[in-house]
Amino acid sequence: MTSQKSSFWFTPKGFAALGLIAAASYFLLMEHSQHVWQYLPFLILLACPFMHIFMHGGHGSHGGHGSHGHDEEESDQDAYQRGLEDGRKKSDNHHH
């Protein structure tokens, strides 16, 4: 039996928040469409930090991955280094 915490958006408060957001968005678009189109680039840029904050909720903690995460980081670094060297060798072969 797992006791996994469900997402906020699937709770009654989450559904109410989604409904409120939908209603506010509808009236904003219908009543103030000229203003929305005028500021759309800024609204898109403003959405980026909010998406970053709210969409990273499922990751858990970013710190303290332990030795397993450190080993993977080193192997990624080695793989990157091998790929870089292989790319340089191929580039040198094509130029000669």
Cα–Cα dist 8/27, whole Å = 25
Domain contains 64 = no
Three-state DSSP state, 51: helix
Domain contains 34 = yes
What's the pLDDT score for residue 23?
94
38 is in which domain, residue-wise? Answer: 9-54
Number of domains observed in the structure of the chain: 1
Domain contains 96 = no
Domain contains 60 = no
Domain contains 32 = yes
Nearest to 82 by CA among 92, 90, 71: 90
Q: What is the mean pLDDT of residues 2-13?
A: 78
Q: In angstroms, how far is the first alpha carbon of the chain from the final one?
A: 64
Cα–Cα dist 10/13, whole Å = 8
Cα–Cα dist 37/30, whole Å = 12
Percent of the chain with pLDDT over 90: 14
pTM tops 0.85: no
Residue range 30-69, pLDDT digits in tens = 888 887 788 888 888 988 888 888 877 655 555 555 545 4
Domain contains 74 = no
- 73 residue type, one letter: E
